Amino acid sequence: MRNLTRLVYDEHEGVAIVGLNRPRKRNALDAATVHELGGVFTASEGSDRVRVILLRGEGPDFCAGADLSEMEKLAATTDPLENLRHAGELGGLLIRMRRLRMPIVAAVHGHALAGGAGLATACDLVVAAEDAVFGYPEVRLGFVAAMVMALLRRAVGEKRAFELVSTGEPISADRAVAIGLANRVFPVDGFRESALDFAVELARRPASALELNKRLLYGMDGASFEESIARGAEINTLARLTEETRAGVRRFLEQQKP
């Protein structure tokens, strides 16, 4: 992956490893980082080699949130349309992540705060180091965790989401799992390796099944029970016709022969 100034990129056994690479800024999200993330996600989707994306942070933290110095400069322009465009770029990235055909796994260590916690929440799965700290402290600055709200209320429910964004309290890795914000907790020692192993194991699943699972899950947003069942039937039909499913069924049947 060429011309990356905010990210590092590698591939390993079907996993695209994408690292936020502004450690001196605690991997704060600026416009260039958001732009590069969108480009890397698009390139990964077009690759036959990539089945899963692992998103992590270089240095001591995953991501400390938005680059406040950039935000302050934008606010000083007093141009509401320019500020709206800037916010819209991040919003577009969150939508892109949800529509991406392959799963994205966030590997969170250190701090994932504000927009950094939002970026992790936008991923399909989250694994956390034991010392990871999540949080939505925007309220303490008089700000609002606005775009992430659409993701957070789906992940943890309305009342819990309101609590998290209104108190701004830090969230430990164990509590993040307990409330549905994260999926697994791994020891600090060897965390990067454990997170990569998790992503590699996921990448060994049939790519078509992973893609259809993601499409079905998010396709149920706002759908009635009856519509969800109907969409499930459609996805079921598509899955039956994929070569990976047919090959899997043949292997199973062969194993059952006396």
Residues belonging to the active site: 138
Tokens of 254: 């062969």
- Gap between the Cα atoms of 25 and 42, Å rounded: 25
Strand partners, 35: none
- Closest by alpha carbon to 12, among 210, 201, 200? 200
Q: Could you tell me if 63 and 115 are in contact, meaning their C-beta atoms sit under 8 angstroms apart?
A: yes
Strand order in the sheet with 133-135: 111-113, 133-135, 171-172
CB 116 within 8 A of CB 65: yes
DSSP state, residue 251: H
Cα–Cα distance measured from residue 40 to residue 6, given in angstroms and rounded to the nearest whole number: 11
The β-bridge relationship of strands 125-129 and 104-108 is parallel
Q: Under 8 Å CB-to-CB from 87, ≥6 apart: which residues?
A: 146, 147
Cα separation of 229 and 234, whole Å? 9
Q: H helices within 23-169, ranges in order? A: 31-45, 68-76, 80-99, 115-122, 149-156, 158-167
Helix (H, G, I), strand (E, B) or coil at 9: strand
H or E stretch including 56? strand 52-57
